[in-house]
Amino acid sequence: MENTPKEYEIGDDALDSLINELVKRSSSIKTGHLMREILTTAIKLGKESSDKGDLKLVNNVLKELRYSFKIFAPYRNVKKAIIFGSARSKNTSSEYKMAEEFARKLTAKGYMVVTGGGPGVMEAGNKGAQAGKEFALNIRLPFEQKPNPYIDEKDKIINFKYFFTRKLIFVKETDATALFPGGFGTHDEGLEMLTLVQTGKSKPRPIVLMEPKGSSYWRAWKRYLTDYLLKSGYIKKDDFKLFLIAKNVDQAVKFIEDFYRVYHSIRYDSGQTVIRLNKEISQDTLRLLNREFKDILTSGEIRLSSPTNKEIQEGEFLNLPRILMRFNMRDYGRLYEMIHFINKD
């Protein structure tokens, strides 16, 4: 007899019946099984935990995530870039002026920008953005972090209690990252972003380190990575392909736009990696991909493909061409190099 997965449930017929009734009243056929698991988890937590602090944590996280999803949902088809940088940068500083120019030029290209909502570089990002094309994810702190006055639509300000839910939304709802000079928070956000793409826990994205004229901020940072992380074997040389140090705004905007010129998106499906494209690539490019990037395959070759069964079931970009390969899920710097190669087609 075929083994079937055990139903995730409370084990109390009355409670499981109530959960099923709530699911029928609150979700669609497509999402019903997930709603059932969410409700079951909530009831299990209530039965198992008498710690008020635990319950407050879960409650606050769910509320922050629910509200964030609601705010971003109407804009999911618009590409967005995060702007990270110091809250302490003065409006006369070179990084402030650069962030303002970056936001202005990127939103003019159809992008939206997402900032931390506070002063300094974050304020510059909101100030430079075209009206209605910016979001602010503000963190409630006992000092220095109040929403800046340049957010055009107040309903696009989301206030967070926790850094980790705020950082999750930063990554989930955006397609590019711009890092300006900053302190501990900027490095925390930037290094987490690099860790996520280096390990495949986030989809590939352009990451630009914005270095104002006359500054050596990010080049000095890269020297530290080279002298201590790379030479000690803690990272690989290919990891430097995960980001670009941009010396001016036009270079950064072009890098972000070019990243999505041919490359569209990625999906991992049953040991295979699907790369969806905005246009078909030539047979010559396909042959070159197999020659230049065979080192990142576990077996087989890179080939043109129709949508996978899972993509068809979920209706994911069925009109787009794609390529399929067995990526080793390890060499993400080389995967980035491959994306840049495809974008030259």
What is the tens place of the pLDDT at every residue in 185-230? Answer: 999 999 999 999 999 999 999 999 999 999 999 999 999 999 999 9
Which DSSP letter does residue 225 get?
I
| Residue 314 three-state SS | helix
pTM of the model: 0.93
| Residue 200 three-state SS | coil
pLDDT at res. 260: 98
Q: What is the DSSP string of 244-275?
A: EEESSHHHHHHHHHHHTSSEEEEEEETTEEEE
Query: How would residue 148 be classed by pLDDT, with cut points 50, 70 and 90?
Result: confident
165-189 pLDDT per residue, tens: 999 999 999 999 999 999 999 999 9
Asked whether the predicted pLDDT for residue 345 surpasses 90, the reply is no
19-59 pLDDT per residue, tens: 999 999 999 988 999 999 999 999 999 999 999 999 999 99
pLDDT at res. 9: 94
pLDDT at res. 145: 58
Distances (CA, A) of 300 to 206, 311, 326, 336: 28, 21, 7, 20
Asked whether the predicted pLDDT for residue 144 surpasses 60, the reply is no
Are 210 and 252 in contact by the 8 Å Cβ rule? The answer is yes
Per the model's pLDDT, the better-predicted residue between 6 and 34 turns out to be 34
Mean pLDDT confidence for 324-331: 97
Share of the chain above pLDDT 70, in %: 97
Q: Is the dihedral of CA 334, 336, 339, 344 positive or negative?
A: negative
| Residue 178 three-state SS | strand
76-126 pLDDT per residue, tens: 999 999 999 999 999 999 999 999 999 999 999 999 999 999 999 999 999
pLDDT at res. 7: 81
pLDDT at res. 140: 83
Asked whether the predicted pLDDT for residue 3 surpasses 60, the reply is no
pLDDT at res. 1: 35
pLDDT at res. 281: 96
CB atoms within 10 A of CB 295: 8
Query: How would residue 278 be classed by pLDDT, with cut points 50, 70 and 90?
Result: very high
Query: How would residue 2 be classed by pLDDT, with cut points 50, 70 and 90?
Result: very low
Q: 102-133 in b/e burial notation, b at 16+ Cβ within 10 A?
A: bbbbbbeeebbbbbbbbbbbbbbbbbbbbeeb
Q: Parallel, antiparallel, or unpaired: how do β-strands 134-139 and 157-160 relate?
A: parallel
Q: 321-331 in b/e burial notation, b at 16+ Cβ within 10 A?
A: bbbbbebeeeb
Residues counted in the chain: 345
Q: Parallel, antiparallel, or unpaired: how do β-strands 263-269 and 272-277 relate?
A: antiparallel
> Mean of the per-residue pLDDT values for the chain?
94
Mean pLDDT confidence for 247-251: 98
Please give the Cα distance from 17 to 202 (Å, whole number).
Answer: 37
